[in-house]
């Protein structure tokens, strides 16, 4: 493989069935207001690095539980294999900018959407 081929953008593969996934990264990020103000968007940085490597990541910044629920549907429809969540969390919940989502509720939101996929 030539060096130039390593940096050529990859075209997303079309899924043949719902069970098939594409080896790409889907990024969901949510920060506290103070982190937003300081532009600490590591998910956006990850997306940029992946693009430099010829990948086609999908990056979404969310602030609420309702947006998380909507983006979970987008993730399922995308066919992307890897889901990277970049946000704060604690022992019992994941935190979006404006809402707290218990891990039990997170599991309900993503129920059936992670089959054959990886969560980071």
* Alpha-helical runs (H) found in 1-120: 3-6, 33-37, 42-52, 65-78, 103-109
Over residues 6-56, the pLDDT tens digits come to 555 555 555 555 568 999 999 999 998 888 878 889 999 999 999 999 999
- H or E element: which one contains 58? strand 58-61
Query: What's the CATH fold of domain 21-119?
Result: Rossmann fold (3.40.50)
Over residues 58-80, the pLDDT tens digits come to 999 999 999 999 999 999 999 99
Question: Where are the domains positioned within the chain?
Answer: 21-119
Residue 4 pLDDT greater than 60, yes or no? no
pLDDT at 38: 81
Strand-pair category, 22-29 with 80-86: parallel
Can you give the pTM of this predicted structure? 0.81
């Amino acid at each position: 493989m030539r060096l130039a081929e390593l940096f050529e953008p990859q075209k997303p593969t079309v899924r043949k069935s719902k069970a098939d996934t594409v080896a790409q990264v889907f990024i969901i990020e949510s920060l506290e207001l103070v982190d937003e103000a300081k532009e600490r968007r590591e998910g956006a940085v990850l997306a940029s690095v992946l693009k430099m490597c010829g990948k086609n990541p999908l990056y979404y910044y969310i602030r609420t539980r309702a947006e998380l629920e909507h983006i979970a549907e987008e993730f399922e429809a995308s066919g992307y294999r890897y889901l990277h969540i970049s946000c704060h969390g604690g022992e019992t919940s994941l935190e979006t900018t404006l809402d707290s989502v218990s891990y039990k509720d997170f599991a309900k939101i993503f129920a059936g959407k992670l089959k054959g996929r990886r969560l980071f």
